[in-house]
A and B are shown apart, each in its own frame.
Chain A
C-alpha cells in the first residue's frame, strides 16, 4: 500500500513539476522581460534598444507592441492578441513557424502587411492550418498570412496559440502607437542573466530617473520559484507516501510478531536441534523482507495502475521514473528488514525450553 502511494504520488508530483518547468523553459531560460510602467511618454527608443543590445552578455533583443485585436476572415471573426515585433523575437521567445516563414527585417523596413498566426487563430477562422497565402483582416486592415506558428499549448499565462504576429512598424501604425513599452532580452547563457538584469536596471534607472517606472522579470527567478514550489509539493506528497510506508512497516511488524508467536514452538524445535540465534534471526528477517518485497512488487503494479488512472482523471502528465520504482522497491525491502528486526530478534532470543513448552 505504501509503495503504491509512493509511486503514484511521486510520479504525479514529478510529472506536474516537469510540465510547469517545461512550460517555463519553452519561454527560454535566458529570457528577461522588461515592462515600462507608469507615466506617459515613457518608452524606449531605438537607440535605447541598440544600447541595451550592446550590453555584454545580451544576445538578442525584441521590442514588442501588443494589444487585443479582432481578426476576421470571410464571415468569421475572433479576438486574439496581437504582437508587433522585430525578427529578433523568433530567437528571444523561442518561437518558430511550422508552415511558411517568419517575419523578416524586410517586412519591417517596407511596413508590409503580413502576419504570422497561431494555430488557434487558423483553426478558428479557417478550420485548417495550411492557410499560408490567405488574407485576414486585423481591425479592418487586410493582411496576408505568411506563416503558421508552432503549437505551444496553453501555459499559465493563457493560450500561446491564439495570437497574431505582425511587423513592429506595421503594428505601430495599426495600433496608432509608437511607444514600445515591453521588450524581451535574451542572454547568451543562463549564467549571465543576473548580471545583464543589473545592467538593464542601471541603464533604465539613469534614463527615467526613477526605479519604479519599469519592471524587469527574470525567467530563471521565476523558474526557480516555481521549481521550489513544485519541489515542496513533491516533498509533501512524498511525505504522505512515507507515512503510509511507515504504517505499512508497522503492519509488517505486526504480522511478523504474530508469526513469531504462532511459531514459538517451531522456534523451540529449531533451537533444540541446534539453530543458533543468528540462524533464527536470519530466517525471520528473510521472511519479513520477502513479505514486504512481495508487497512492494504488488504496490508497484498497483501504483502503475493508479498513476495511469489519476493522470487521466486529473489531466496531470505522470512520469514514472525508474528511480522511483527502484527507490520504492528498495524501500519496501528495507522497511521489511527494519520492521522485521524487532520480531526477528524477539524470536531469536526465545528461550528454547519455554518455546518448546509453548502450546
Chain B
C-alpha cells in the first residue's frame, strides 16, 4: 500500500542523543521534533469572505519541551493545535515532524501519524460513553493493530499509572470529571506518543481536579514527554516552561516561563 509510512519514522523511541542538545547541528532545522515554516490557514467562508486563522506562523518545538500556547478565543490557537496534531492541514507553508515533511500527507497517513505520534487530551474529555475506561484506553492500540492480550496489559498498566487501577471497568459516566480526564490522559499516553497535545484540559474541571491534572502533566514532562498545552488561562499556562502567545493568527510572544 502506498499509504504506508516508513515504519522507522513511526517508531516512537527516536534515538535520544539526537535531541540531547535541542538542535542537532548536523540536521539543522530538521533536528526539531516539530517545525512549522510560514504556516497559514485560510478559511473560505460563504461569499468571498476569507478568514485568516493563522498568518505566516513559524515555530519550532523540541523533544521534551513543555509548551503552552495561549491566546484569547478566536486567536487561532485551536487551529494551530489542530494543524500540529494533524487533524487539519494548513493552506500554506510547511510542516516538518521529526525531520520529515508531512505537509502533503493524505488522510490515512495523517490518521496513522495521529495514532502513533500524538496523544490528545481534550477539554470535554471525549471518552466514548458506552465503553469502559479500559476499552477507551485500548482504542488507540486497536487502531495501531496491537494484539488483544498486549493491548489489555498496556492499557491496564497506563491506567494504573494514572491511579485508576481500581476503576478500569467503570464507564465514563460513573467517574468524576478529574477521573475522566485521567482516563483521557491514559488513552493519550498508551501508544507512547512523541507529543501530548492538551486542549484546555482543565476547562471543564473544578480548580482542585484541574490542579491534579496539571500535576500529572508536570510529572509527565519531568519524565521526558513533550507536551503542548493550549489554554487561555495564564495560571494554567504557568505550569509550562515555554509560553507562546498568539493573537489574530500571529505569534506575538515566545518566552521562557520563570519557574514558580
* B96 at the binding interface (Cβ < 8 Å): no
Chain B interface residue count, Cβ-Cβ cutoff 8 angstroms: 22
A270 vs B111: C-alpha distance when bound (angstroms): 10
Contact across chains for B107 and A272 when beta carbons are under 8 A apart = no
Tell me which residues across on chain B come within 8 A of A229, comparing CB atoms. Answer: none
Contact across chains for A272 and B88 when beta carbons are under 8 A apart = no
Contact across chains for A274 and B187 when beta carbons are under 8 A apart = no
| Binary A-proximity of B60-90 (CB < 8 A = 1, otherwise 0) | 0000000000000000000000100101100
A269-B128, A274-B111, A277-B108 known; A353 vs B82 contact (CB < 8 Å): yes
* B217 at the binding interface (Cβ < 8 Å): no
A265-B126, A356-B122, A356-B126 known; A273 vs B87 contact (CB < 8 Å): no
A275 vs B144: C-alpha distance when bound (angstroms): 9
| Binary A-proximity of B89-123 (CB < 8 A = 1, otherwise 0) | 00000000000000000011001101110001010
A76 vs B226: C-alpha distance when bound (angstroms): 109
Task: Output the least CB separation between A311 and chain B (Å).
Answer: 44
Tell me which residues across on chain A come within 8 A of B87, comparing CB atoms. Answer: 271-272, 352-353, 356
Contact across chains for A276 and B128 when beta carbons are under 8 A apart = no
Contact across chains for B122 and A275 when beta carbons are under 8 A apart = no
Tell me which residues across on chain A come within 8 A of B108, comparing CB atoms. Answer: 276-278
Contact across chains for A276 and B143 when beta carbons are under 8 A apart = yes
* B140 at the binding interface (Cβ < 8 Å): yes
Contact of A274 among B88, B116, B122, B128 (CB under 8 A): B116
Tell me which residues across on chain B come within 8 A of A269, comparing CB atoms. Answer: 126-128
A352-B87, A353-B82, A353-B87 known; A274 vs B126 contact (CB < 8 Å): no
A48 vs B140: C-alpha distance when bound (angstroms): 92
Contact across chains for A353 and B88 when beta carbons are under 8 A apart = yes
A352-B87, A353-B82, A353-B87 known; A273 vs B128 contact (CB < 8 Å): no
Tell me which residues across on chain A come within 8 A of B36, comparing CB atoms. Answer: none
Contact across chains for B107 and A274 when beta carbons are under 8 A apart = no
Contact across chains for A273 and B140 when beta carbons are under 8 A apart = yes
Chain A interface residue count, Cβ-Cβ cutoff 8 angstroms: 18
Tell me which residues across on chain A come within 8 A of B85, comparing CB atoms. Answer: 272
Closest to B126 in A: A269
A265 vs B139: C-alpha distance when bound (angstroms): 15
Q: Which B residues, 128 to 156, have Cβ-Cβ distances below 8 Å to chain A?
A: 128, 139-140, 143-144
Main secondary structure of the interface of A (DSSP, over half): helix
A270 vs B87: C-alpha distance when bound (angstroms): 12
Tell me which residues across on chain B come within 8 A of A277, comparing CB atoms. Answer: 107-108, 111
Main secondary structure of the interface of B (DSSP, over half): helix
| Binary B-proximity of A260-283 (CB < 8 A = 1, otherwise 0) | 000001101111111111110000
A266-B128, A356-B126 known; A272 vs B139 contact (CB < 8 Å): no
Contact across chains for B140 and A274 when beta carbons are under 8 A apart = yes
A273-B115, A274-B116, A352-B87 known; A279 vs B126 contact (CB < 8 Å): no
A278 vs B111: C-alpha distance when bound (angstroms): 11
Which of B122, B127, B143, B187 has most chain A Cβ within 10 Å?
A: B143
Tell me which residues across on chain B come within 8 A of A279, comparing CB atoms. Answer: 143
Closest to B140 in A: A273
A352-B87, A353-B82, A353-B88 known; A276 vs B126 contact (CB < 8 Å): no
Tell me which residues across on chain A come within 8 A of B139, comparing CB atoms. Answer: 270, 273
Task: Output the least CB separation between A125 and chain B (Å).
Answer: 76
A276 vs B112: C-alpha distance when bound (angstroms): 7
Task: Output the least CB separation between A79 and chain B (Å).
Answer: 76
Tell me which residues across on chain A come within 8 A of B191, comparing CB atoms. Answer: 274
Closest to A348 in B: B107
Closest to B199 in A: A356
Tell me which residues across on chain B come within 8 A of A272, comparing CB atoms. Answer: 85, 87, 114, 120, 126
Tell me which residues across on chain A come within 8 A of B127, comparing CB atoms. Answer: 269
Tell me which residues across on chain A come within 8 A of B120, comparing CB atoms. Answer: 272-273
Contact of B144 among A265, A271, A274 (CB under 8 A): A274
A266-B128, A353-B87 known; A273 vs B187 contact (CB < 8 Å): yes
Q: Which A residues, 322 to 359, have Cβ-Cβ distances below 8 Å to chain B?
A: 351-353, 356
Task: Output the least CB separation between B151 and chain A (Å).
Answer: 13
Query: What 10 A-B pairs come out closest when comparing CB atoms?
Result: A274-B115, A274-B143, A276-B111, A273-B140, A269-B126, A352-B87, A276-B108, A274-B114, A275-B143, A353-B87
- Residues of A in contact with B (beta carbons under 8 Å apart): 265-266, 268-279, 351-353, 356
Q: Kindly list 9 other residue pairs between chains A and B, CB separation below 8 angstroms, not including A270-B143, A271-B111, A273-B139.
A: A271-B87, A273-B115, A273-B143, A276-B111, A277-B108, A277-B111, A279-B143, A353-B87, A353-B88
29 inter-chain pairs at a CB distance below 8 angstroms, sorted by A residue, are: A266-B128, A270-B143, A271-B87, A271-B111, A272-B85, A272-B87, A272-B114, A272-B120, A273-B114, A273-B120, A273-B140, A273-B143, A274-B111, A274-B112, A274-B115, A274-B116, A274-B143, A275-B111, A275-B115, A276-B111, A276-B112, A276-B143, A277-B108, A277-B111, A279-B143, A352-B88, A353-B82, A353-B87, A356-B122
